[in-house]
Chains A and B, each alone.
Chain A
Amino acid sequence: MITFPVRFRVRQIGIDGNTVGSSRILLCEEPGAFLIGKSQEADVPLTGDAVSRRHLSLVLSAEDVRVQDEGSTNGTYVNGTRVDEQVLAVGDQISIPGWILELLAAAESPASATRIAGVEVDASLVSRLVITDDDAPPPTRRTFPDAEFEGKETVGIEALRASGHPIEEVKFCAVGGGLGSFVWVDHLRCYGVPASDIRAIGTEEVCYQTYKRYCKNSQIPDHERLRSNALSRPDNIWGFPGYAMREVGKGIGVKGIFQVFGEPTLSESYTPRAGDVFDSLDVEAKRIGWSDMLLKAQVLGLRKTSDGRYAVAYKLWGGEASGQARNRFLIADAVHLSTGYPATRFVDDFQTFITNHPDARAQVANAYEPHDQMYVEAERRGGPVQFVVRGRGIVASRIIQRLSEARAKNPEIRILHSMRSAIGPRDGAVFRKARRLVRNNVEIQPFNWPKSCWGGDLRVEYENASEEDRGIMLSQLGGTTTAERSDWIAIAERGAEEGWYRPIYGTISDLAPLPPQGEKQPAGVQVSIDTQEGNREELNADYLVDCTGLIADIRRSPFLADLLDTYHLSRNHAYRLSDGRATKGGPTGLRCTNDFEIEGLRNGNGRVYAAGTITTGGPYLAVDSFLGLQYSALRSVDHLVTERIHKVRNLGPLRSLGGWAKWMTGARP
Chain B
Amino acid sequence: MIPTLAGRIQTRLFLFLFIGIPITLLYGLYWTGWQWDWRTIQIFVWFLCTITGLGLLLDPVYIFLQTTRWDRDWPFAYQFFFSWVEFGIVFFVARAGLIPYLPEFAFQGGQGLWIATLHFTLVFVPSFLFLLGPLQAIFVRWRFKGGQFGKM
Tell me the A residues contacting B by CB distance below 8 Å: 231, 237-242, 245, 260-266, 428, 431-437, 445-446, 450-452, 454-460, 631, 634-635, 638, 642, 651, 653, 656-657, 660
Tell me the B residues contacting A by CB distance below 8 Å: 2-5, 63, 66-73, 75-78, 80, 133-134, 136-141, 143-146, 151-152
Q: Would you give the shortest CB distance from A584 to chain B, in whole angstroms?
A: 27
Residues of chain A within 8 A of B3, CB atoms compared: 456
A522 to B35 alpha-carbon distance, docked (Å): 89
> Can you show 20 pairs from A to B with CB atoms below 8 A apart?
A231-B133, A237-B140, A238-B137, A240-B134, A261-B77, A266-B75, A446-B71, A450-B71, A451-B72, A452-B72, A456-B3, A456-B72, A456-B73, A457-B2, A457-B63, A457-B67, A634-B144, A635-B152, A638-B141, A657-B138
Residues of chain B within 8 A of A264, CB atoms compared: 71, 73, 75
In the complex, the answer to whether B70 meets A261 with C-beta atoms within 8 Å is no
Known A456-B3, A460-B146; contact A241-B72, beta-carbon cutoff 8 A: no
A281 to B75 alpha-carbon distance, docked (Å): 28
In the complex, the answer to whether B77 meets A434 with C-beta atoms within 8 Å is no
In the complex, the answer to whether B133 meets A456 with C-beta atoms within 8 Å is no
Residues of chain A within 8 A of B143, CB atoms compared: 231, 239, 455
In the complex, the answer to whether A238 meets B136 with C-beta atoms within 8 Å is yes
CB < 8 Å: which of A431, A432, A456 contacts B2?
A456
In the complex, the answer to whether A436 meets B133 with C-beta atoms within 8 Å is no
A458 to B63 alpha-carbon distance, docked (Å): 12
A240 to B75 alpha-carbon distance, docked (Å): 17
In the complex, the answer to whether B139 meets A656 with C-beta atoms within 8 Å is yes
Q: A261-B80, A431-B70, A635-B152 are in contact. List 5 more A-B contacts (CB 8 A).
A: A262-B76, A457-B2, A631-B144, A656-B139, A657-B138
Q: Would you give the shortest CB distance from B127 to chain A, in whole angstroms?
A: 15
Find the B residue at minimum CB distance from A245.
Answer: B133
Residues of chain A within 8 A of B76, CB atoms compared: 260-263
A25 to B77 alpha-carbon distance, docked (Å): 55
A451 to B66 alpha-carbon distance, docked (Å): 11
Q: Would you give the shortest CB distance from A512 to chain B, in whole angstroms?
A: 40
A458 to B134 alpha-carbon distance, docked (Å): 24
CB < 8 Å: which of B72, B77, B138 contacts A653?
B138
In the complex, the answer to whether B136 meets A460 with C-beta atoms within 8 Å is no
**What are the 3 A-B residue pairs with the smallest beta carbon separation, nearest first?**
A456-B2, A240-B133, A452-B72
Q: Would you give the shortest CB distance from A373 to chain B, in whole angstroms?
A: 38
In the complex, the answer to whether B152 meets A634 with C-beta atoms within 8 Å is yes
A261 to B74 alpha-carbon distance, docked (Å): 10
In the complex, the answer to whether A451 meets B77 with C-beta atoms within 8 Å is no
Residues of chain B within 8 A of A239, CB atoms compared: 133, 136, 143
Residues of chain A within 8 A of B146, CB atoms compared: 452, 455-457, 459-460
Find the B residue at minimum CB distance from A432.
Answer: B67
In the complex, the answer to whether B4 meets A456 with C-beta atoms within 8 Å is yes
Known A239-B133, A261-B76, A657-B138; contact A454-B2, beta-carbon cutoff 8 A: yes
Most A CB contacts (10 A, CB to CB) among B5, B68, B143 go to B143
A244 to B105 alpha-carbon distance, docked (Å): 45
In the complex, the answer to whether A460 meets B137 with C-beta atoms within 8 Å is no
A537 to B61 alpha-carbon distance, docked (Å): 51
A241 to B136 alpha-carbon distance, docked (Å): 9
Q: Would you give the shortest CB distance from B74 to chain A, in whole angstroms?
A: 9
CB < 8 Å: which of B63, B71, B80, B136 contacts A445?
B71
Residues of chain B within 8 A of A455, CB atoms compared: 2, 143-146
In the complex, the answer to whether A434 meets B69 with C-beta atoms within 8 Å is yes
In the complex, the answer to whether B137 meets A240 with C-beta atoms within 8 Å is yes
A450 to B69 alpha-carbon distance, docked (Å): 10
Residues of chain A within 8 A of B78, CB atoms compared: 265
In the complex, the answer to whether B70 meets A445 with C-beta atoms within 8 Å is yes
CB < 8 Å: which of A231, A265, A433, A651 contacts B77?
A265
In the complex, the answer to whether A454 meets B144 with C-beta atoms within 8 Å is yes
CB < 8 Å: which of A261, A432, A651 contacts B140?
A651
In the complex, the answer to whether A653 meets B139 with C-beta atoms within 8 Å is yes
Find the A residue at minimum CB distance from B64.
Answer: A433
In the complex, the answer to whether A457 meets B4 with C-beta atoms within 8 Å is yes
In the complex, the answer to whether B140 meets A450 with C-beta atoms within 8 Å is no
Find the A residue at minimum CB distance from B69.
Answer: A434
CB < 8 Å: which of B70, B77, B141 contacts A634?
B141
Known A434-B68, A634-B152, A657-B137; contact A452-B73, beta-carbon cutoff 8 A: yes
Most A CB contacts (10 A, CB to CB) among B5, B71, B77, B139 go to B71
CB < 8 Å: which of A238, A245, A450, A631 contacts B72?
A450
Q: Would you give the shortest CB distance from A350 to chain B, in whole angstroms?
A: 31
